[in-house]
Amino acid sequence: MAEINNQKIPIYAVLGTVIFKLLFLLTHYIQEDAFITWRVAQNLLDYGVIGFNGTTKISASTTHLYVFLSYVFNLIFGKENFIEPLLIFNSILFTIGSLFLSHLLLKNVWHKAIFIFLTGILPPAIKISILGMEYGLLFFLEMTLLYYGFYKGKKWALVILPILILFTRIDTVIFLGAVFIIDILWNKKVRWLYILGGILGITSVLAFNELYFGELVNNTIIAKKIAYDNHFTFQQNLEYFAQNFGNFWGMLKLPGDFNPLTVFLLIFELVCFIYLIRQKDQRNYFLWIIFVFGWAKQLIFLSQRSLFDWYYWVPQILLFVPVLILILEQKVKKYLWISLFIIFYIMPMLIFQTIHSIATGNGEWNYRREIGLFLHQYEKDKNQWIFLEPAGYIPYFSGLKTIDEVGLVDKGVQHEILKDKPNFWINTVKNRKPKYLLTYDDLYERKDAEYFRTHYKLVKEFRIKDHLKSDYRIIEKIYILKPSGSDYNLYQRID
């Protein structure tokens, strides 16, 4: 009986970790792109079409499976109430994923419990859980594949889970490929069911894209490639990598190009990994999988100059896992090492993430959301168009049809960029004549200011400085210390 109760300790850790992280819901820190996915889900609910603007089909979200999950939560809880339940569900999924990971790497139930909690309060784990994006679902599916498919040897997992993983994000071919390579090198045999799952996953997601949207890969990938395409020399690519890798390899995105804390962490992670794999242990199989995947994902995305930090959340956690294992398995003065590790590393990171979440939540939820709510009240005709960037909070809360400057939710911008990239913005305005423009600039000061004076009037100025107050002095200090958001000007067409 005592053994059975002990086995429940990691489950209690899962519950405790989820409850602890629910405090972060109070910060209202939700990623901009989550609202793109949620609007796609609601577009499916309203029009029966996977799109962003009415009946026009477009894969405006990076993830198909999470769109469907968001659709289900909208259906059950309603458009006004689905966000909190979905965020809680994301947190539960991620934490169960960390439970599976602990089973792969640790034997002691108390080690597993501490591992689950410490993993769950790392900055990327907090963001995966409460920012509303698909990575909680993705982490759960990936760890479930490793646990049930490669640890428990369940045949269904080898076939079904690769399909679900690829429908969550198509770039997960990197994860599935890393698992495939390490599995062959380690076990010296081919798992044909896993190959079947991978083939079915790739062909089904590509076939779905082609048959439904008329394109093989998601529109978001195409749009970003067109909008952010820069032709760099080899030397420029090296310089770009050196300037940016520090803030994405580590867990804290600090100001400036060079982040010495991240460099130190990277070296420490490598040392811990090398130390662990020198011990002859069956878990080395899974350590190699997560290590190779973490490095491969980071290097591939950084080489493509992909600077959206959510691409790096899962690799950041997995590369840090050897550090946690080494600390937990210290033979001498174990609890002293764990205590020092929590006090001098985990707690500072948690405090940093808390401050970041409060400040960014203010800039997003209290500020950008307010702009959307203003437009919702100001413009009753939801068939009117707005041209802006980005396409998350403001289109979601305004309900207006949207053209975004990258072309994620409207392909017309992509055509304008391909025709005349330096002038795509003004050409889009002249050709599409959207009723509203929301910009960072004063349009009356541009070189083509006369056009805007003739056709558009300034409706309202939105300033982040007006949203740095709080009834709580500590919160206000955080807002002022780290103001989050950009100043906007709203223009309305007058002809």
**pLDDT score recorded for residue 305:** 75
Distance CA 256, CA 246 (A): 9
Distance CA 268, CA 261 (A): 10
Helix and strand element counts for the chain (H, E): 25, 5
In this structure, are residues 247 and 253 in contact, taking their beta carbons and an 8 Å threshold? Answer: yes
**pLDDT score recorded for residue 1:** 46
Handedness of CA 335, 341, 344, 347 (dihedral sign): negative
**pLDDT score recorded for residue 244:** 63
Question: Residue 253 is encoded by which pair of tokens?
Answer: 């995105």
| Burial label, 230 (beta-carbon count in 10 A; 0-12, 13-18, 19+) | exposed
**pLDDT score recorded for residue 249:** 64
438, β-bridge pairs: 490
Residue type present at position 1: M
Which pTM was predicted?
0.94
Residue type present at position 193: L
Distance CA 153, CA 149 (A): 5
Tell me how far the alpha carbon of residue 340 is from its chain's centroid.
30
Instruction: Order the strands of the 436-439 sheet from edge to edge.
Output: 401-404, 385-388, 436-439, 488-493, 456-462
pLDDT tens series, the chain, 495 aa? 445 568 899 999 999 999 999 999 999 999 999 999 999 999 999 999 999 999 999 999 989 999 999 999 999 999 999 999 999 999 999 999 999 999 999 999 999 999 999 999 999 999 999 999 999 999 999 999 999 999 999 999 999 999 999 999 999 999 999 999 999 999 999 999 999 999 999 999 999 999 999 998 888 888 888 887 766 677 767 776 666 666 666 677 666 666 677 778 888 999 999 999 998 888 999 999 999 999 999 888 887 777 788 889 999 999 999 999 999 998 888 888 889 999 988 999 999 999 999 999 999 999 999 999 999 999 999 999 999 999 999 999 999 999 999 999 999 999 999 999 999 999 999 999 999 999 999 999 998 999 999 999 999 999 999 999 888 889 999 999 888 888 999 999 997
Q: Residue 275 to residues 278, 325, 337: CA-CA distances in angstroms?
A: 5, 11, 17
Question: Residue 38 is encoded by which pair of tokens?
Answer: 């949620």
